[in-house]
Structures are given as structure tokens and as C-alpha cells.
Amino acid sequence: MNINRYTEFVNEYYNRSHEGRKTRTELLTKEEFIEIFKKNCKNFVIDKSTYLYRGSNDAGDYLLIDPSKYSRGSIEDVNVHTFLMDNMPEWSEFPKRSKSVISSTNTYEAGGFGGEKYIVIPFDMSPIGISPDSDVWVSFENGEVVSHYNEFSGESPLYGYGDDSLFKIMDHFLRKSGLDLHMNHKKEYSIDYDTFLSFFEHEFNIDKFGKTERELEDYRMLKLIKFTLGIRNLQDITGSDVLEFIRRAFNPDYNGFKAKKYRKNFSIKSNSYSNSVWIGGKCLLIKERNFIEIKDSLK
């Protein structure tokens, strides 16, 4: 993991733009926190709702965070999944990843992302995205397309992290195609989704890619597309095939993702020990120890 990206992630409250340092987080007093909670967080039921946790640097005991204030990038150098989940029609019922608060259902999992652990309390009816696993990348590894490829293709398997992950080989593939999905200093994508689609419909060139084991990064992505779509020859892959592969590989239904609203007694039923959850609305954040101290005042 790139340590600079990690530092940026756990301190993502701040947007280092040319316009100066901005924050999407407001520091609250205990009294302000309780007042906002009672007005906007009536669907959070103490000891009954599924608790959500967030690891971060120490930004204060009581916080209000508004993810709509600016966009967030991925913890990694790769933003393929964020771009696609933000823009694909199949994800229209989900909050945008780039405009969300990221959290976990597991306090220990959240603790790996910063020195302080916060309980995250979404405002009532906020849109919620739920990964079937502890991490978005791992969720896609265990999804229908990649797991089927790993089991039946006879090729080297793909994993949730590292150079053998779906997102790493996809990022390489897009860059070599001529597309770079990075975010600029203002946390804006380098291209829009219409340009992305138009590129594969009109400009994609299969001849840019190696098609042997010696050109492994190229070869693995092409083999994955070929296997998934049942294409006979690598050379026959078209831009339309690439788009069809993306629609299948990144489909939330095929990968076990769920979209919800933050309703009364919000709960997540899962076979995983932990789920990554993103919230596309304002949230209150409170340190775990402070929550224990004041939770009777919140009832």
C-alpha cells in the first residue's frame, strides 16, 4: 500500500486544493451533538441498530460530517471502482462512493484506518451502500465473474489486493487503452462517463495489447474478458465487448452489494464477519468512549 495514499485516506477530511485547505467536518460540542442527534437521527436505536465504525485521525470528540462538500478518492492509487460505481446505471440506487462516508460494521476492522475509532450515526433516511465483505476489492474478488474465472478458467487466480487484483489489472488495461481515471487536485475525475463509453464504442484498439504470457498484465485482462464473454480469440475482442464485460464484472447484483436507506432499527444481516458500508448523507461521528459516556442522554 502506498503510504502517502494511506495518509491521505485517513485524513480525508481535508481537501488540499489550490483554494486552500477545506473541511467537510464540523467540530461540535457535546450539547450540539445531542441536539442534532435528537432532531436528525431518530432512526438510530441504541443497542438495536447495527453500529457503524470509522477509523480516523483524532479530529475531536463530537463531529458532524457532510460528504457532499467534496469528493474522496480511493485509499489506493487506483480509482477504477470508484469511477464505475459512481457512474454506471447499475449503481444508480447506491450513494456515490466519491461523495460518501466510508465505515465498517466491525470496530476492529475500522481501527486499522487510524488512531481513533468513531461510531458513525447517519441522518435519517440517508442512502447506504453495503459491501458483502469487509472490503470493496475483496467483495468483487468473491463476486460471480471473478470467482467463476478463478474456479473454471485454468488461469492464475485473481485476488482482492496487489498486482493480481481485478482493479490493478483493470487499471493497467485502461491506461494502456488510453484512459486514465485518476482524480485531480480538486478530486475531480480526469474524464466523464460519456467520454469513457464513447472511447470504447469508437476508439478502442485491440492491437495495443500483448496477447502472450510474456506480456502478463495485458494478457490477464484479455483472458478474463475472453473467458467471461465466451469469445473464441483474443484478437476478436472489441470495445463493445469490453463494455459488456464491465457491466457484468461490476454489476452490484452479481457481486452481492445491497442498497438501503437508513431506516428505524437499521440492521445488516451478513455471513461476513465485517461489511464495508458507505453513507451518502450527513453523519454524526462520536468517539467510542464518549458514546458510552452519553448514550443514556441519547435515548
- More confident site: 168 or 31: 31
With cut-offs at 50, 70 and 90, classify the pLDDT of residue 1: very low
**What average pLDDT does range 120-145 have in this prediction?**
94
With cut-offs at 50, 70 and 90, classify the pLDDT of residue 88: very high
pLDDT of residue 73: 67
Instruction: State the pTM of this model.
Output: 0.86
Q: Give the 3-state secondary structure of residue 128.
A: strand
Cβ–Cβ under 8 Å, residues 59 and 25: yes
Checking if the pLDDT of 114 tops 90, the result is: no
pLDDT of residue 75: 63
**What average pLDDT does range 262-290 have in this prediction?**
93
**What average pLDDT does range 144-167 have in this prediction?**
87
Helices (H) and strands (E) in the chain, counts: 12, 11
Q: Where are the beta strands (DSSP E) in the chain?
A: 14-17, 20-23, 25-27, 52-56, 62-65, 101-104, 116-122, 127-130, 258-261, 276-279, 283-287
pLDDT of residue 9: 45
pLDDT of residue 6: 37
With cut-offs at 50, 70 and 90, classify the pLDDT of residue 74: low
Which stretch of 95-99, 184-188, 245-249, 292-296 has the lowest confidence by average pLDDT? Answer: 184-188
Share the mean pLDDT of the chain. 86
The secondary structure of the chain in percent helix, strand, coil, rounded to multiples of 5, reads 45, 15, 40
Cβ–Cβ under 8 Å, residues 278 and 110: no
- More confident site: 245 or 220: 245
The DSSP bridge partners found for residue 116 are 56
**What average pLDDT does range 148-172 have in this prediction?**
87
Sorted by where each begins, the domain ranges of the chain are 3-72+94-131+258-298, 137-253
Checking if the pLDDT of 211 tops 80, the result is: no
